[in-house]
């Protein structure tokens, strides 16, 4: 939930409307496809600013690869434990 609210807040700060930003973040995190508003089924993500597309790309990767797996990948303790084995 923190990821969704943080990403949607960034998109709103970039000038997107709140409905489009929240639904776009939820759609990319869940890998659903279209959202609501300007990222809905009758439109596409071309109206999203370039920085917003990067934010949505990161949320898509976090949703696709599972957030916990990526957190483990970037945790230094896991790497230290792996090198002892």
Kindly write down the DSSP assignment for every residue of 40-78, as one continuous string. STTS-GGGS-HHHHHHHHHHHHHHHS-HHHHHHHT-HHH
d(CA 1, CA 82): 30
Average pLDDT taken over every residue of the chain? 85
Phi, psi for 22 (deg, rounded to 5): -65, -45
pLDDT, mean of residues 7-33: 91
Residue 82: is its pLDDT beyond 80?
no
Supply the pTM of this predicted model. Answer: 0.74
Instruction: Extract long-range pairs of 14-20: CB within 8 Å, 24+ residues apart.
Output: 14/49, 14/51, 14/52, 15/49, 16/48, 16/49, 16/52
Residue 83: is its pLDDT beyond 70?
no
- Calculate what percentage of the chain has a pLDDT beyond 70: 94
pLDDT, mean of residues 8-18: 94
Residue 81: is its pLDDT beyond 70?
no
């Amino acid at each position: 939930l923190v990821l969704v609210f943080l990403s949607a807040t960034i998109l709103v700060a970039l000038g997107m409307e709140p409905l489009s930003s929240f639904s776009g973040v939820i759609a990319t995190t869940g890998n659903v496809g279209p959202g609501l508003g300007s990222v809905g089924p009758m439109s596409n993500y071309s109206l999203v600013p370039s920085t917003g597309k990067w934010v949505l790309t990161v949320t898509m990767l976090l949703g696709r690869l599972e957030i916990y797996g990526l957190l483990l990948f970037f945790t230094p303790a896991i790497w230290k434990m792996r090198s002892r084995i």
